[in-house]
Structure 1
Amino acid sequence: MYTQSYPEVGRGPAQHALANSLLVADCGTVFTKVSLFGLVEGQYRLMARGEAPTTIVPPHEDITRGVMQALNTIEFVTGRKLVKDGLVLTPEQSNGDGVDAFIATISAGGPLRLVVLGAVDAKLESLASQAISGLYAEMHVIPAPSFQAATSRTPLSVGAAGTEEKAPTETSSWTQERVTKEWERQLARMRELQPQGALIVGMTDSPAGPSPLQEACQLLTNADRQRKELGSKAVEVPTLYAGAPQYVEAVRRMLNGVSTVTRLDALTASEQLGQVSLAVGGLHERNVIQSLPGYARLQEWSGGATPVATATSLSSLVRFLAQHYAMNVTAVDVGGLTTTVMLAGEQGEFVPTVNAGIGVGPGLSALLQRVGWQRVGRWLPFVVTEEELRQYALNQMAHPASLPTSSRELAFSQAFAREAMMITMEEAQKASSDELNSDLILATGGILAHTPKYSQVAMMLLDALQPRGITSLVLDRTMLISQLGAVAGIAPIAAVQVNENDAVSHRLGTCVIPYGDLKPGQLAVRVGVVYNNGRQINVDVMAGSIEVIPLKVNEQALLTLFPAPGVDVGLGPGERARAAEEIDGGLVGLIIDARGRPLALPANDVERHARLTQWMQALNV
Structure 2
Amino acid sequence: MNAQPNPASEQEVSRAIPAAVSSLLVADCGAVFTKVSLLGLVEGQYRLMARGEVPTTIYAPQSDITEGVLQAISTIEFITGRRLVEGKQILTPEQPNGDGVDLFISTISAGEPLRLIVMGAVNPSLENLSTQAISGLYAQSESVPSPSFTATTTLVGVGAGTMQWSQERVAQEWEQQIGRIRDLQPHAAMIVGMADGPAGPTSLQEACQLLINALAKTPELQRQPPAVLYAGAPQYVEAVRRMLQGTAEVQRIDPLSSVVQLGPVSMAIGTLHEKKIINSIPGFSQLQAWSQSEPIASATSLSSLVRFLAQHYAMNVTAVDVGGSTTSVMLAGEQGEFIPMVNAGIGVSGSLGNVLKLAGFQRIARWLPFTITEDEVRQFVAQHKLHPHLMPTETRDLFLTQAFAREALSLTLEAAQKTATKWPDSDLILATGGILAHAPKYGHVAMMLLDALQPRGVTSLVLDKTMLISQLGAVATVAPITAVQVNENDAVSHRLGTCVIPFGNVQPGQLAVRVGIEYSNGRQVNVDVMGGSIEVIPLRSNEQALLTLFPAPGVDVGLGPGERARAAEEIDGGLIGLIIDARGRPLILPVDETERQARLMQWLQVLGV
- TM-score of the superposition, structure 1-length normalised? 0.95
Aligned AA for 1:412?
Answer: L
Partner of 1:13: 13
Check the 8 A contact 1:530/1:536 in 2, yes or no.
yes
State the distance in 2 between where 1:263 and 1:196 align. Answer: 17
Give runs of aligned pairs for residues 528-607 of structure 1, distance below 5 A.
528-607=516-595
Matched residue count: 605
User: 2: CA distance between counterparts of 1:135 and 1:394?
Assistant: 27
CA positional deviation for 1:405: 2.2
Instruction: Give the gaps of 5 or more residues in structure 2.
Output: none
- Kindly indicate whether residue 326 of structure 2 is the aligned counterpart of residue 338 of structure 1: yes
1:86-165 matches, within 5 Å, as 86-153=88-155
Kindly indicate whether the alpha-carbon contact (under 8 Å) linking 1:380 and 1:415 is maintained by their aligned counterparts in 2. Answer: yes
Q: Secondary structure at the match of 2:218?
A: helix
Aligned to 1:49, the other structure's residue is in SS state strand
Residue number among 258, 262, 266 corresponding to 2:247 in the alignment? 258
**Aligned partners of 1:328 and 1:438 also within 8 Å:** yes
Query: What value does the CA root-mean-square deviation take over the aligned residues?
Result: 1.5
Q: Provide the C-alpha distance between the structure 2 equivalents of 1:446 and 1:462, rounded to a whole number of angstroms.
A: 18
Q: Any idea what the Cα deviations from partners look like across 1:570-592, whole Å, max 9, x if unmatched?
A: 11111111112111111111100
State whether structure 2 residue 24 is matched by structure 1 residue 22: yes
Select 1:523's aligned residue among 501, 508, 511. Answer: 511
Q: Which residue of 2 aligns with 1:4?
A: 2
Distance in structure 1 (CA, Å) of the matches to 2:269 and 2:76: 36
Which residues in structure 2 correspond to 1:319-334 (within 5 Å)?
A: 319-334=307-322
8 Å CA contact 1:10–1:488 kept in 2: the answer is no
| Partners of 1:239 and 1:261 within 8 A in 2 | yes
**Aligned-pair CA distance for 1:543:** 0.6
Partners of 1:139 and 1:98 in 2: CA distance: 43
Q: Which of 424, 429, 444 is equivalent to 2:412?
A: 424
Task: Quote the sequence identity (%).
Answer: 67
Which residue is 1:301 aligned to? 290
Is residue 4–residue 131 contact of structure 1 (8 Å, CA) maintained in 2? no
1:557 maps to a residue whose letter is A
What's the CA shift string for 1:543-587, capped at 9, x where partnerless? 111111111111111111111011111111111111121111111
- Are the aligned partners of 1:470 and 1:510 in contact in 2 as well (CA < 8 Å)? yes
Specify the alignment match of 1:379 in structure 2. Answer: 367
Q: Identify the residue that residue 174 of structure 2 maps to in structure 1.
A: 183
Cα distance in 1 between the residues matched to 2:440 and 2:19:
38
Q: Which amino acid aligns with 2:176?
A: R
Query: Quick one: structure 1 residues 491 and 151, their matched pair in 2 at CA, closer, same or farther if it must change by over 3 Å?
Result: same
Q: Which amino acid aligns with 1:101?
A: L
* Equivalent position of 1:460 in the other structure: 448
Cα offsets for 1:130-154 (capped at 9, x unmatched):
1110000000111111111011016
1:232 to 1:473, Cα distance in 2 relative to 1, 3 A:
closer
Report how far residue 260 of structure 1 moved.
Answer: 0.5
**How far apart, CA to CA, are the structure 1 residues paired with 2:371 and 2:165?**
49
In the alignment, what sits opposite 1:395?
A: 383
Q: Greater relative contact order (Cα 8 A, min sep 6): structure 1 or 2?
A: 1
Structure-1 separation of matches of 2:144 and 2:7:
33
Contact kept in structure 1, 2:128 and 2:419, CA below 8 Å = no
Does residue 193 (structure 1) correspond to residue 184 (structure 2)? The answer is yes
Amino acid at match of 1:244: A
How far does residue 323 in structure 1 lie from its aligned partner after superposition? 0.2
CA distance in 1, matches of 2:18, 2:576: 39
1:148-180 Cα shifts (integer Å, max 9, x gaps): 101101669xxxxxx98x9xxxx6373221222
2:275 equivalent to 1:286: yes
Q: 1:438 Cα deviation (Å)?
A: 0.4
Is 2:163 aligned against 1:172? yes
1:290 match: secondary structure = helix
Q: Which moved more, 1:550-559 or 1:448-457?
A: 550-559
Q: Which runs of 4+ in 1 moved over 3 A?
A: 7-12
Deviations 1:297-317 (CA, angstroms, capped at 9, x unpaired): 0000014x3201000000000
Q: Distance in 1 between matches of 2:37 and 2:82?
A: 13
Higher deviation after alignment, 366-375 or 286-295: 366-375
| Corresponding residue of 1:61 | 63
Alpha-carbon displacement from aligned partner over 1:489-517 (angstroms, at most 9, x marks no partner): 01000000000000001100000000111
Give the C-alpha shift of residue 269 in structure 1. Answer: 0.7
Q: How far apart, in 2, do the equivalents of 1:482 and 1:398 lie?
A: 27
Q: Match for residue 448 of structure 1?
A: 436
Deviations 1:502-538 (A, max 9, x none): 0001100000000111111110000111122222211
Give the match for residue 160 of structure 1. Answer: none
SS for the counterpart of 1:331 is strand
Change (3 A) 1:438 1:243: same
Q: For 2:493 and 2:315, how far apart are their aligned partners in 1?
A: 18
Q: 2 CA distance for matches of 1:105 and 1:235?
A: 25
- Superposed CA offset, 1:204-244 (max 9, x none): 2222111111111011111211123xx77611211000011
* 2:329/2:341 contact within 8 Å kept: yes
Letter aligned with residue 209 of structure 2: Q
TM-score normalised to structure 2 length: 0.97
